[in-house]
């Protein structure tokens, strides 16, 4: 969840504190976006990693630099979106095999999930930890601290900030189908949401090689947790208390997101969803019955354009507010393995002449 202080003051029904150190207010799209956008929106590759590299998630720093986590190695890179500096390997979290979700809690203090998952063997029980990555001294002087092990976790995936003031995060386990709250100050964690809406297909053993991922990306908005359920192709909202526990039933907002990975929300309740299974970026209008428009990638154009999109975030900084940054897997698990694309960090301008 990324909101500015000024935005928070406008969220009248919002009852608890969020990440106040995050990106500026995103814009909202006109209601008839699909009629006025020249679709597909162009996808600009900022950086492409070598073939076989799966980029899994991203966070945007206040400087505008972008942190990307890799699943195929335990590496986090900083990428300058203006491409004036080469990507910087900030840290390798050996001996973990890969990194997943990442969230900022305090300015330039990030938390990320590390574990022994690979895209061919996602279920890796007992290998999971959440680390703190403190970049307050700069990306060349990272300070890394393990916050907690998760001995019962199967696949820690999406992360989001629950409360800046109490230093808490929510962490999704995609295979167990639960959400943990983690207190980053004490390292204590507890399952706070365990609901059928978080699980994958019922009755399928998630330790088989077929990924049966339930809850995946998570964001908090207006006192609710929003999440994708990958196997069920859903975008779901569940109202939560300040401690992360549910305060009402889950509501399915869309049943039409095709094997979704992570996503981002704008301030009008539009969700931009990385549809990893079908190689595109989709817009889902939550206020319009979950109507979906594919903005870029397949089937509008070659699936290699957005091969396996994994996560989406808005840029930060005035010139960046209409830009989405997207990580991709290179299509390793999206039917493109034959094409040996490298995972990318790409940009899509979702603003347009005459919209504002
Ligand atoms: C569609 O959006 C344009 C602005 O881009 C606006 O002028 C027009 O009235 C809208 N049409 C409908 C049917 O909402
Ligand atoms: C993860 O895998 C590496 C390499 O196989 C191994 O050294 C390490 O102990 C594993 N970590 C855990 C927590 O199981
Ligand atoms: C899932 O499959 C594994 C491997 O066959 C087995 O050890 C495990 O007990 C199964 N779990 C469930 C819940 O059926
Ligand atoms: C994958 O590559 C192999 C070897 O180059 C080729 O024979 C096969 O047709 C390709 N498959 C697809 C789906 O493109």
pLDDT (mean) for 35-48: 88
Which range is least confidently modeled, 23-37, 78-92, 310-324? Answer: 23-37
Burial letters 3-23, b for 16+ CB under 10 A, else e: bbeebeeeeeebebebbbbbb
Q: How far is the CA of 209 from the centre of ligand 3 (A)?
A: 11
- SS3 for the chain is CCCEHHHHHHCCCCCCCCCCECCCCCCCCCCCHHHHCCCCCCEEEEEEEEECCCEEEEEECCCCCEEEEECCCCEEEEECCCCCCCCEEEEECCCCCEEEEEEEEECCEEEEEEECCECCECCCCCCEEEEEEECCCCCCCCEEEEEEEECCCCCEEEEEEEECCCCEEEEEECCCCEEEEEECCCCCEEEEECCHHHCCCCCCCCCCCCCCCCEEEEEEECCEEEEEECCCCEEEEEEECCCCCECCCCEEEECCCCCCCCEEECCCCEEEEEEHHHCEEEEEEHHHCCEEEEEEECCCCCHHHHCCEEEEEECCCHHHCCEEEEEECCCCCCCCHHHCCEEEEEEEECCCCCCC
The model's confidence at residue 354, banded by pLDDT at 50, 70 and 90, is: very low
Mutate to test the pocket of ligand 3, among 123, 205, 209 (most ligand atoms within 8 A of CB): 205
Cα 1 to Cα 267: distance, rounded to the nearest angstrom = 11
Mutate to test the pocket of ligand 2, among 124, 127, 151 (most ligand atoms within 8 A of CB): 127
Give the domain 5-349 fold.
Answer: Neuraminidase (2.120.10)
Residues with CB under 6 A from ligand 1: 30-32, 36, 354-355
Backbone dihedral angles phi then psi of residue 9, each to the nearest 5 degrees: -65, -20
Higher model confidence: residue 80 or residue 13?
Answer: 80
Mean pLDDT of all residues in the chain?
A: 88
Which range is least confidently modeled, 56-65, 186-195, 196-205, 236-245? Answer: 196-205
Atom index in ligand 3 nearest the CA of residue 205 equals 1
Q: How far is the CA of 212 from the centre of ligand 4 (A)?
A: 26
Query: What does the pLDDT read at residue 3?
Result: 32
Q: What percent of the chain has pLDDT over 70?
A: 86
The model's confidence at residue 47, banded by pLDDT at 50, 70 and 90, is: very high
Q: Is the pLDDT of residue 223 over 50?
A: yes
Query: What does the pLDDT read at residue 208?
Result: 55
Name which residue sits closest to atom 9 of ligand 2, judged by CA: 95
Q: Is the pLDDT of residue 119 over 50?
A: yes
Do 130 and 150 meet the contact criterion of CB atoms below 8 Å apart?
yes
CB atoms within 10 A of CB 28: 15
Q: Is the pLDDT of residue 333 over 90?
A: no
pLDDT (mean) for 127-131: 98
Query: What does the pLDDT read at residue 134?
Result: 98
Mutate to test the pocket of ligand 1, among 27, 36, 353 (most ligand atoms within 8 A of CB): 36
pLDDT (mean) for 80-98: 97
Task: Write the CA distances from 100 to 3, 75, 161, 165, 276, integer angstroms.
Answer: 22, 10, 15, 24, 15
Backbone dihedral angles phi then psi of residue 339, each to the nearest 5 degrees: -95, 0
Cα 226 to Cα 271: distance, rounded to the nearest angstrom = 10
Atom index in ligand 2 nearest the CA of residue 116 equals 1
pTM of the model: 0.87
CB atoms within 10 A of CB 346: 25
Name which residue sits closest to atom 8 of ligand 1, judged by CA: 32
Mutate to test the pocket of ligand 1, among 27, 34, 35 (most ligand atoms within 8 A of CB): 35
Q: Is the pLDDT of residue 82 over 50?
A: yes
Atom index in ligand 1 nearest the CA of residue 35 equals 1
Task: Write the CA distances from 86 to 89, 165, 320, 331, integer angstroms.
Answer: 10, 35, 20, 24
Burial letters 271-287, b for 16+ CB under 10 A, else e: bbbbbbbbbbbbbbbbe
Which of 334, 354, 356 minimizes the C-alpha distance to 54?
334
Query: What does the pLDDT read at residue 298?
Result: 95
The model's confidence at residue 186, banded by pLDDT at 50, 70 and 90, is: very high
Q: Is the pLDDT of residue 15 over 80?
A: no
Residue that has been written with the tokens 């990580």 in this structure: 327
Domain ranges (residues) in the chain: 5-349
Cα 344 to Cα 271: distance, rounded to the nearest angstrom = 21
Q: What is the pLDDT of residues 225-277, one digit of tens each?
A: 999 999 999 999 999 999 999 999 999 999 999 999 999 998 777 899 999 99
The model's confidence at residue 35, banded by pLDDT at 50, 70 and 90, is: low
Query: What does the pLDDT read at residue 336?
Result: 82
Cα 266 to Cα 285: distance, rounded to the nearest angstrom = 10
Q: Are strands 43-51 and 55-60 parallel, antiparallel or unpaired?
A: unpaired
Q: Is the pLDDT of residue 136 over 60?
A: yes
Q: How far is the CA of 328 from the centre of ligand 3 (A)?
A: 31
Residue that has been written with the tokens 């994994």 in this structure: 310
pLDDT (mean) for 336-343: 84
């Amino acid at each position: 969840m990324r909101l500015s202080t000024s935005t928070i003051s406008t969220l009248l029904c919002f009852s608890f504190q969020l990440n106040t150190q995050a990106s500026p207010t995103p814009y909202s799209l006109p209601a008839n976006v699909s009629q006025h956008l020249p679709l597909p929106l162009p996808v600009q590759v900022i950086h492409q990693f070598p073939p076989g590299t799966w980029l899994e998630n991203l966070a945007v720093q206040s400087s505008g630099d972008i942190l990307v986590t890799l699943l195929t190695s335990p590496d986090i890179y900083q990428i300058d979106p203006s491409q004036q500096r080469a990507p910087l390997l900030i840290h390798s979290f050996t001996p973990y095999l890969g990194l997943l979700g990442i969230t900022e809690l305090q300015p330039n203090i990030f938390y990320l999930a590390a574990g022994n998952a690979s895209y061919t063997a996602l279920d890796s029980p007992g290998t999971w930890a959440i680390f703190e990555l403190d970049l307050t001294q700069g990306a060349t002087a990272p300070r890394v601290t393990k916050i907690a092990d998760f001995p019962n976790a199967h696949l820690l995936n999406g992360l989001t900030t629950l409360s800046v003031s109490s230093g808490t995060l929510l962490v999704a386990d995609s295979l167990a189908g639960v959400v943990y709250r983690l207190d980053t100050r004490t390292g204590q964690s507890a399952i706070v949401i365990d609901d059928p809406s978080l699980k994958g297909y019922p009755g399928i053993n998630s330790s088989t090689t077929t990924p049966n991922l339930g809850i995946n990306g998570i964001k908090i908005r207006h006192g609710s947790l929003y999440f994708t359920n990958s196997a069920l192709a859903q975008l779901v909202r569940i109202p939560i208390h300040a401690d992360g526990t549910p305060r009402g039933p889950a509501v399915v907002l869309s049943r039409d997101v095709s094997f979704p990975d992570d996503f981002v929300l704008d301030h009008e309740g539009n969700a931009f969803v990385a549809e990893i299974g079908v190689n595109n970026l989709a817009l889902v209008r939550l206020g319009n019955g979950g109507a979906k428009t594919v903005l870029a990638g397949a089937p509008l154009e070659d699936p290699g354009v957005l091969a396996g999109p994994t996560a989406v975030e808005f840029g930060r900084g005035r010139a960046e507010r209409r830009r989405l940054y997207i990580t991709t897997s290179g299509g390793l698990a999206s039917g493109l393995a034959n094409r040996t694309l490298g995972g990318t960090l790409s940009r899509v301008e979702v603003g347009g002449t005459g919209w504002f």
